[in-house]
Structure 1
């Protein structure tokens, strides 16, 4: 069975007037090189409407080609490998005899010895030869545009269409959209490496070479297999000097095919924005693993531990913090605890009839630890909850989560790990459960480049609650203190203190109540530190390319209206191009990336990819989902009103 791919491409072999025709091949024609021979025959095949391929070559003892056969792409016969003759595979081979044979003469010239020009199939129109494989060519300029647009997250259909518009139509391109997709797929693969532990190790090496402040560490097992990863760039380390007093840490985000949760260290800057202070990928969530990560992070920050840290209720995390950061005040995420109320107490008969409200009142309206303990005891007795083990465990650890016990510590306005989870949200759309390690770090940089501010909306119930606060005022030293402890927790004076200052006609607050941490008029040097993005445009050849392109664009704008200047400019370009033939200037960006990727940075033992680990039984999703979110919601039946 013969399948003719050119049946819909039939047409006359008419060549446009502005195209240069080449003469038909004949015996005795000479060429300076094998490259010139194949280029000539491709041009001839393009004007005649058929594809070509090198069918046969022969080399001498030194490995130098001395004989070559270039013929029609439909030459030869198809030999099926399967024995099912009832379902033969379609083929384009028709055993076409069109070919030229050439041999290398004694004077190093390639001479045509045999020529066949009669096809046994229909040729196509020269306008359609761009669809044939041998005549497709993705030039260097198009590769640059495709790669640049791909880095800008422009979709392939729009990326390809930009080249169509630039060329003046589809018919002026020597490639198709599928060829562009193949190029981008290969470029991404070479850009990211194979994605395992060794590729990640090479990536970190490049980052350290490009940025002295970049720090990374990889934890390996006895077999050399990757277990845990930590890294922080120079900007994160510099920002920690200003905003490392309060840090949130969370590991609920799954990001890669190995099931390694993403563990970011997140702080808050003087604008109230989340700021990344380091990150890690963990294979386990036990005490030993957390201790390794915390110690790496502490060493990276010159041994300066945070004053306060917010995490979830993970026992292993709590133990690791107590060992590595003994002087740090540890706090549980209040939001996670309150989110468990429906799950733990929802079965109680009075949960929605007063129990939930009374628990929230005891928690949020208690100004001192004594008031909380009294209110808590009343709730336990009122609803007969003495045997509830979950509430008992919470009460035993009340100093880790109840606001009344934590008022004396500065928390920068944070009581939950929401900032860590909002940082995780930046990576949605960039990473998924199948993301390889190297690609994750690369997409991690892309997400940080596009970091935007997320505004949180807080809704409250429609009722007014009156609370009494006491403000202590020392007139001699102009010292004020409120029982709401907003200044102690956030570093910002509350409205109660400001009202007292207004009544006392204090027009200027003492400097002690204006913390440098929140001041916007101070210049902080961490913003001047460059982040360690592995941007391929930082290569010397990419910078030179952009430099030449900008210069030529400006010149083209100036001389585009003068035909004489254009002709003179093109003559100079032709002369320069002739001088550069055979040099490395023709090497494509794809080949340069490939060459750099194949460089062996470490000739020692390779780092193996980590084993797939699902952690503490967590399902392979992006984040941990509490059981309350999994409860099926019953749809209300429509009520017919008659």
Structure 2
């Protein structure tokens, strides 16, 4: 009795849900003799009926002629058939939907070419629930509107979980969605495959060829082995090549980034623009890190940049790279990344009983020496104090001191860059776009997306520099001169020099043949609370005006130091000669590269642009028609009529797509995807680790975690 009552209540609930789902639409029960024009029409009808009643539908049997014409087919309840368990442990069977349900319809081909239902079984051996029908995978479908939204959000870098949640919110809840997250995931995977084409070397070659057809200034070079397997790749877009004309005087190059499925190091040629922002000047993927590979890469890059080598280049401390640069860029000043050298101190001296003292002493030698002579004195004193004359690493560092010690490289313009942190910062920038399983084709596509974002950041900085001003902090006319010429970022640096007047003491030492000699005593911070008094010499020629300071900041950064500015203001100098206001920092120069687009791969966005144009026209129309039921019904009716005039196109227009057909024997041999690259360096050694080094590593890890947490809280 209780069971009968419970069934009746459920039956009432199903009726209410049935009304709610079905709305005004009624689905006629299948009967023998019902006629349809095609197999698709029969299938669509039974799917609607199944969803209305609350059971899944699957195709059971089909019979075709030799010419492919369907003579007979069966559509049945998804819970039909019997499941055969294949698990080894019969005491732990897997769940199954099969339970032998006989509900089905059979349809046969009639003489008119249509189909007629020949057999109908309506009874199910299980309960049907219309309220749960949306969970059947047979009824889940991603329509055109949802598909377009998914693709747009995916290209914007929105991960799938948030992408799906936005659709749920728009639909008004999960119960109103005709699809699930798995369906969205499958669609995105398929869309990416269609968007990216074939993977590996073939896709990469096709992509580059197509980009070069779109713009002849796009440059790429591919290196393969005897088996036509991809070894090295280099490419640079047209905009990067023109950017090099303005900011190619100093570049950094780093190879420590692994971001693709083949573990090929991703290296960037990076410069700095007039805002102090990192700019891309070329990219490469290489399979080896020996001198010959680097030489091939640098030669390719030099050819790309019209055989104009950079004035200065910063790399990590790599012997193979050093050899290649000496061969390809003999006139360029080469410098090692200071950060890469200093980070090796725990590894080299972590087990030493006086590690803390040695580290502090080396830091003072490197950062607190303002001349080569001062550095040499401090270095020799350190070797004597700690008996490190036989340390091979320190011996090699000292022999290469002209490649990395700040006091030894201050006579060269480095645009304010002292390490490969520009490359590393750009690598972090790409973290939003690529990951360890990224294919080669995805890699270059995501590079293009990241490049557009970088260009937009520069455009915003240009806008701010032209439309806003930072007020002057002094009454000196020369500050206004810098204010009107420099970008905001560089003017801030000038103001920082003016604030430094507080720590300066100047004294005129005399004048000889029109050259004034000044001694400037500066209090420089060398620690958290320590100040070091350092003396600098400033020379001033008045006709024509020429200034030099022993700190060589202008030669190094392209910004006049506070010692020079203090002396000029003390002498009553109101203007600065134009040679001390570098064009590369100016905001009032229209540079050639700003007229060049950052991307030329418009294949994937042409459809989106047309779609947006049509959608924008519908926005106002839908808004007005939704205010009244009569207008809503009329508009829907008119749209249904328009659908017949614009049917779906199965094969998209391929006039702008990349040709990914396999090469024939008469064509160029197809490039094979690269082998997975083995990481550079030997396996980690099994040496004993001193407790001091362990504690240092623990403390550094804690600091890093603390900094990461601080960044998260900040943002």
Which TM-score applies when normalising by structure 1? 0.86
Q: 1: distance between equivalents of 2:93 and 2:384?
A: 83
Q: Which has the higher mean CA deviation after the structures are superposed, 159-168 or 359-368?
A: 359-368
Shift of 1:163: 2.3
Alpha-carbon distance in 1 for matches of 2:351, 2:223 = 45
Say if 2:393 is the partner of 1:390: yes
Q: Note the residue ranges of structure 2 that are not aligned, 5 or more in a row.
A: 1-6, 462-488, 494-524, 700-715
Quick one: higher RCO (CA 8 Å, sep 6+), 1 or 2? 1
Q: In the alignment, which of 35, 42, 51 is matched to residue 46 of structure 1?
A: 51
- What secondary structure, in the 3-state scheme, does the structure 1 residue paired with 2:532 have? coil
1:503 aligns with 2:567: no
1:423 is aligned to 426
Q: Secondary structure at the match of 1:40?
A: helix
| 1:208 equivalenced with 2:212 (yes/no) | yes
Closer, same or farther: CA 519–115 of 1 in aligned 2, 3 Å = same
Contact 2:350 2:692 in 1 (8 A): no
What do the CA deviations read for 1:483-531 (whole angstroms, capped 9, x no partner)? 1111112222111221222222221111111111111111123233222
| Structure 1 residue 76 corresponds to structure 2 residue 81 | yes
SS for the counterpart of 1:71 is: strand
Q: Which residue number in structure 2 is paired with residue 549 of structure 1?
A: 615
Aligned to 1:623: none
SS in structure 1 of the partner of residue 560 of structure 2: coil
What corresponds to 1:491 in structure 2? 558
Aligned equivalent of 2:627: 561
Number of the residue aligned with 1:277: 281
Aligned mate of 1:231, from 232, 235, 239: 235
When residues 177 and 396 of structure 1 are mapped into structure 2, their CA distance, relative to the original with a 3 A threshold, is closer
Partner of 2:593: 526
Task: Report the secondary structure of 1:230's partner residue.
Answer: strand
What is the deviation of 1:246? 0.4
Q: Which residue is equivalent to 2:62?
A: 57
2:403 counterpart of 1:400: yes
Indicate the SS of the match to 1:498. helix
Q: Shift of residue 542 of structure 1? A: 2.2
Distance 2:140 2:363 in 1: 70
1:614 to 657, 660, 678: 678
Instruction: Please tell me whether residue 465 in structure 1 is matched to residue 465 in structure 2.
Output: no
**Runs of 4+ off more than 6 Å:** 452-456, 595-598, 626-630
> Cα offset for 1:135?
2.1
- In structure 2, C-alpha distance between the alignment counterparts of 1:629 and 1:111, rounded to whole Å: 86
CA distance in 2, matches of 1:109, 1:323: 77
Report the counterpart of residue 640 of structure 1 in structure 2: none
2:692 and 2:612 map into 1 onto residues whose CA distance is: 51
Q: 1:627, 1:483 → 2: CA distance?
A: 43
Match of 1:33 in 2: 38
Secondary structure (helix, strand or coil) at the match of 2:269 reads strand
Q: Is the Cα–Cα contact under 8 Å of residues 526 and 532 in structure 2 kept in the other structure? A: no
Q: CA shift at 1:335, angstroms?
A: 2.6
What is the aligned-residue RMSD (CA, Å)? 3.5
Query: In the alignment, is residue 576 of structure 1 matched against residue 636 of structure 2?
Result: no
Structure 2 length-normalised TM: 0.78
Task: Please give the secondary structure, in 2, of the residue aligned with 1:21.
Answer: coil
Partner SS state of residue 424, structure 2: helix
1:538 corresponding residue in structure 2: 605
SS of residue paired to 1:160: helix
* Post-superposition offset of 1:359: 4.5
The 1-side partners of 2:259 and 2:195 are apart by 20
* Partner of residue 336, structure 2: 332
Determine the C-alpha separation between the residues in 2 that align with 1:66 and 1:597.
40
The equivalent of 1:97 in structure 2 is 102
Secondary structure at 2:584's aligned position in 1?
A: helix
Q: Secondary structure at the match of 1:467?
A: strand
Matched, 1:140 2:201: no
Q: Partners in 2 of 1:281 and 1:106 — Cα distance?
A: 64
Query: Is the contact made by 1:98 and 1:116 (CA closer than 8 Å) also made in structure 2?
Result: yes
Confirm or deny: 8 A CA contact 2:222 2:232 kept in the other structure. Answer: yes
- 1:204 shift after superposition: 2.9
**Taking structure 1 as reference, are residues 516 and 132 closer, same or farther at Cα in structure 2, changes over 3 Å only?**
same
Matches within 5 A, 1:310-389: 310-345=314-349, 352-353=356-357, 356=359, 359-364=362-367, 366-389=369-392
Is contact 2:221-2:300 (8 Å) kept? yes
Q: 1:478 aligned to 535, 545, 552, which one?
A: 545
Give, in whole Å, the separation in 2 of the partners of 1:64 and 1:394.
80
2:270 aligned with 1:266, yes or no? yes
1:290 is aligned to 2:298: no
Q: Give 3-state SS (helix, strand or coil) of 1:253's partner.
A: coil
Query: CA, structure 1 residues 55+580, in 2 after alignment: closer, same or farther (shift >3 Å)?
Result: farther
Q: CA 1:347 to 1:172, structure 2 compared with 1: closer, same or farther past 3 Å?
A: closer
Query: Which of the two has greater helix per residue?
Result: 2
SS of 1:278's equivalent?
strand
Look up the SS of the partner of 2:151 in the other structure.
helix
Matched, 1:183 2:187: yes
Measure, in 1, the Cα distance between the counterparts of 2:89 and 2:337: 66
Which deviates further from its counterpart, 186-195 or 407-416? 186-195
Q: CA deviation at 1:179?
A: 2.1
- What SS does structure 1 have at the residue aligned with 2:430? coil
Structure 2 CA distance for partners of 1:232 and 1:629, relative to 1, 3 Å: farther
Call closer, same or farther: CA 1:407–1:96 in 2, change over 3 Å. closer
Instruction: Decide whether aligned partners of structure 1 residues 614 and 309 sit closer, same or farther in structure 2, where only a CA change above 3 A counts.
Output: same
Give secondary structure in 1 for the equivalent of 2:533.
coil
Q: Judging changes above 3 Å, is the alpha-carbon distance between structure 1 residues 250 and 630 closer, same or farther for their aligned structure 2 residues?
A: farther
CA distance in 2, matches of 1:83, 1:518: 73
Shift of residue 325, structure 1, vs aligned partner: 0.7
- Partners of 1:597 and 1:95 lie apart in 2 by 49
Question: 1:3 — aligned with what?
Answer: none
> Residue 409 in 1 paired to residue 412 in 2?
yes
Partner of 1:111: 116
CA contact under 8 A between 2:413 and 2:557: conserved in structure 1? yes
User: What is the CA distance between 1:305 and its match in structure 2?
Assistant: 0.7
Q: Which residue, out of 306, 310, 318, partners 1:306?
A: 310
Instruction: Name the count of aligned residue pairs.
Output: 614
Question: Which one of 516, 524, 528 corresponds to residue 583 of structure 2?
Answer: 516
